[in-house]
Structure 1
Amino acid sequence: MVRIGEITLPEFPLLLAPMEDVSDPPFRAVCKDNGADLMYTEFISSEGLIRDAIKSRQKLDIFDYERPIGIQIFGGDEEAMALSARIVGATNPDLVDINFGCPVKKVVSKGAGAGVLKDIDLMVRLTSAVVKATDKPVTVKTRLGWDESSINIEEVAERLQDVGIKALSIHGRTRSQMYKGHADWTLIGKVKNNPRIQIPIFGNGDIDSPEKALEYKNRYGIDGIMIGRAAIGYPWIFNEIKHFFNTGTHAPAPTVQQRADAIKKHLHKAVEWKGEVVGILEMRRHYTNYLKGFPHIKEFRNQLVTVKSVAEIEEILQQIVTRYDGFVPERRMATFPEEKGCEC
C-alpha cells in the first residue's frame, strides 16, 4: 500500500494527471471507471479563486465517486496561495496539490507553474504557506528543472519534504523541453532512491503502454505512475496496465461498443455538469481522440461535432458501432494543442 497522509492507495497506484481543459469531472468519471486510483482536477489559479472567477470556481467541483481526489492550485504569491488553499479546503478534497510544472507561457510569465523552478527558495516558501493553511495532505507536481543547466530536482524534493509535503510527482522533462524529446526517468529514480526521501515519488512522462509502465516500475523503483495524455480518448490504459502487471498478458482491446459506451458516459456526465448546450459543445473536442485509428471516420466525426442533441449523438454512435463491428484500431496518442491537454 502507498500512503499520502491518511489516504491509502493500492500498491503501485496509477494516477490521472491534471490536464488543462481535459481532466474535468466528465473525463475523470470515465477514467475512474477504467482503473485510475487517484485523480486531480484541472489546475486552478490562486488569484482566480480569490477574485471569485467563475471558471476557477467551477474547477472546484468534485464528486464522492471520484475519491480519492486532489484539487491542484498554482500561483506565485504566498498570501494568495495560502488563501486559495483555505478556499479549496472548504470543498473537502482528499488532498491539495501544488503545480510547479506547467510549462505554458501564459502561466510561466506570471511567475507560476514551471516559472517557479527559477527560484527554489520561493518554491519552498509557497509550499510552506499552503501546508500551514490547510489540514489536508499537500502534494506537489513539478519538473526536473528550468533547463538542462539548472536541473535541481533532488534538492527540490528534499526541501519540499522538509516543509511538509506528503508526496511528489515528477515529470521527467525540464521546462525548456516542454513536451519535446524523451522524459528522463533516471533523475526521477535518483530522487526515489535518495535515502533522505521518505515520501512517495510518482513518475510522469511518456508512459503510453503497459510494457513501458512495467519497465519503468522495475527499473526506477518509483511508488506509482502518473498518466496524462495517453489517457485522452483512451481511459482503458489504466486497467490495461494493471492487467499486464498481474498477468504478463495484454487485456483485450476495447470493442467498438465499449468505446461508444465510454463516449456516451462522458457525454452524459458533461450534460449533467454543464447543461445540454455547453456539455455538447465541450464534448466535441474529445471525439477525434476517442475515434483515432478508425478508417474513413471523418464523415461520422463531422456529424458528431455539428448535431445539437444527445439523441442525435447517440444515433450516430450506434451507426459507428454497426459500421465498425469487430474492428480494433491501432493505438495512437491523443492530439491536443499544448495549452490544452498539457499535463499540468
Structure 2
Amino acid sequence: MKIGNIDFGSKPLFLAPMEDVTDIGFRKLCKRYGAAMVYTEFVSADAIIRSIPSTLAKMHVNDDERPVGIQIYGREVEPMVEAAKIVESFHPDIIDINFGCPVKKVAGKGAGAGLLRDIPKMLEITKAVVKAVNTPVTAKTRLGWDMNDLVITTLAEQLQDCGIQSLTIHGRTRSQMYTGEADWTLIGEVKRNPRIHIPIIGNGDITTPERANLAFENYGVDAVMIGRATFGRPWFFKECRDYIDTVQGAAQVLPAPLTIDDKIDILEEQLRINVERIDEYRGILHTRRHLAASPIFKCIPNFRQTRIALLRAETTEDVLRILEECRSILKGLQVENQ
C-alpha cells in the first residue's frame, strides 16, 4: 500500500490521531512496536493561524517516528488553506483533514464531522487544501451524519475527485459518537467500488488482533487504523502485526510475546520520555491516563484504589513506585496460574 511515494507494505496498521493521547512519546513507542504510520493530535486551523504555542507544540515531529501525519480541522476554506501551508513548514509526511470528529465543540461548530451536513463546503475545503500544498493530503470521515444520511459511498468518490491520496473511514455516524458497534459493511462497499483507486483505511472497534486481521480479510481495506485500543498498550501494534503475519504465513518464526516485565518497562519508558520532553508535572499528566487505562492491570485485585493512586501521583518517583508494585503483583499472579 502506498500514499504518495510512501510505501507501507502489506496490511499496515496505523495509529489514529487522538487529542491528548498521541503525543511524541506515545507515537514513538507505537512506531517501535509496529505502527506503520502515526499521527499527531488533531489541531485547529484557527489556533495554528493564531500561533497558539500549545497548538504549535503538537505539530513538532521527530525523524524517528516517520512517516507521520499532522491532522487539521476547521470549517472555512481560507483558514484551512493558510493552516495547511503553516503545517507544511513542520515537514509532515502527510497532511490529514479531519471530517470525522463528532464532539460538540468541534462538530457543533461546523468543523470535523459537522461538515457532513455541508458536503459542498467539505469538498471546497478539500480541493483548496490539496491545491495549496505539495505534501500528500488525505482525509478521515464517518459514514454520514446519522443513519438516515449514510453518504459515504458517494462521498468517497467526491473526496477522491478533490485530489486526496487516501481516505480513512470510521464505521460510525456522527450521531453515534463512539457508542454501539462500528459498521464495516459500508467501508467494504467503498473499497469494492471499481471507481475508487486511492487506498481505503478502515477504523473502528479494532480491539483484538483477530479483529484487525478480519478487517483486512472481510472488507479488503488497504490499512487498518487503531485508536482507543492502544491506550496504555503501545505494544498492541506488535500483537496485531504478529498475529496477522502468522495467520498469513508471512512470519518465518513464531514471534515471542512480550512479557509482563517488557510491558511495565515500556510504560515506564513512556513516562520518562514525557517527563524529559516537557517537565515532570506535565509529563506525568500526559502519561497517567495511559497507565490508568492499561489493560494489563485489570487482573489485579482491587485495582480501583491503585488506579486512583496513579491518577493522583505527582512525582516520577511515586508513579514508578506504583508501577513496580503492580509488576510484583502481576508476576506473582502469573506464578500462581502456572
User: Above 0.5 in TM-score?
Assistant: yes
Moved more, 64-73 or 153-162: 153-162
Measured after TM superposition, the shift of residue 309 of structure 1 is: 2.9
Q: Distance in 2 between matches of 1:251 and 1:288?
A: 28
Match of 1:277 among 277, 281, 285: 281
Moved more, 193-202 or 265-274: 265-274
SS in 2 for 1:148: coil
Q: Distance in 2 between matches of 1:137 and 1:269?
A: 30
Aligned to 1:179: 178
Aligned to 2:316: 310
**Could you say if the C-alpha distance between residues 186 and 101 of structure 1 is closer, same or farther in structure 2, counting changes exceeding 3 Å?**
same
Measured after TM superposition, the shift of residue 109 of structure 1 is: 1.6
Aligned to 1:289: 293
Aligned to 1:158: 157
Instruction: State percent identity of aligned pairs.
Output: 48
**Is 1:265 aligned with 2:269?**
yes
**Could you say if the C-alpha distance between residues 42 and 298 of structure 1 is closer, same or farther in structure 2, counting changes exceeding 3 Å?**
same
SS in 2 for 1:149: coil
Q: Distance in 1 between matches of 2:29 and 2:299?
A: 20
- Which digits, 9 at most, give the CA deviation of each residue in 1:245-290, with x for residues without a partner? 2223996654321221111111111112221221123322222112
SS in 1 for 2:148: helix
Aligned to 1:335: none
Aligned to 2:5: 6
TM-score, normalised to structure 1, is: 0.90
Aligned to 1:47: 46
Q: Please, which runs of 5 or more residues in structure 1 have no aligned partner?
A: 329-344
TM-score, normalised to structure 2, is: 0.92
**Could you say if the C-alpha distance between residues 301 and 174 of structure 1 is closer, same or farther in structure 2, counting changes exceeding 3 Å?**
closer
Measured after TM superposition, the shift of residue 44 of structure 1 is: 0.3
Q: Please, which runs of 5 or more residues in structure 2 have no aligned partner?
A: none
Aligned to 2:259: 255
SS in 2 for 1:140: strand
**Is 1:119 aligned with 2:118?**
yes
Aligned to 1:244: 243
Q: Distance in 1 between matches of 2:217 and 2:37?
A: 21
How many residues matched?
Answer: 327
Measured after TM superposition, the shift of residue 326 of structure 1 is: 5.3
Aligned to 1:222: 221
Counterpart code for 1:70: G
Measured after TM superposition, the shift of residue 197 of structure 1 is: 0.5
Aligned to 2:188: 189
- Which digits, 9 at most, give the CA deviation of each residue in 1:170-193, with x for residues without a partner? 001110111111111110011111
Counterpart code for 2:302: H
- Which digits, 9 at most, give the CA deviation of each residue in 1:274-310, with x for residues without a partner? 2122112332222211233322334443443444332
- Which digits, 9 at most, give the CA deviation of each residue in 1:109-140, with x for residues without a partner? 21100000011111110111111111100000
Cα root mean square deviation, aligned = 1.8
Measured after TM superposition, the shift of residue 90 of structure 1 is: 0.3
Counterpart code for 2:264: A
Q: Distance in 2 between matches of 1:293 and 1:15?
A: 28
Match of 1:324 among 308, 313, 330: 330
Counterpart code for 1:77: E
Q: Distance in 1 between matches of 2:308 and 2:83?
A: 41
Q: Distance in 1 between matches of 2:19 and 2:89?
A: 22
Aligned to 2:32: 33
- Which digits, 9 at most, give the CA deviation of each residue in 1:22-66, with x for residues without a partner? 111121122112111101111100001111112211111211111
Structure-to-structure mapping, 1:199-210, within 5 angstroms: 199-210=198-209
SS in 2 for 1:325: helix
**Is 1:134 aligned with 2:133?**
yes
Moved more, 294-303 or 125-134: 294-303
Q: Distance in 1 between matches of 2:212 and 2:267?
A: 25
Q: Distance in 2 between matches of 1:179 and 1:319?
A: 33
- Which digits, 9 at most, give the CA deviation of each residue in 1:61-109, with x for residues without a partner? 2111110000000001100000000010000000100000000001012
- Which digits, 9 at most, give the CA deviation of each residue in 1:305-343, with x for residues without a partner? 444332333233223222321546xxxxxxxxxxxxxxx
Counterpart code for 2:223: G
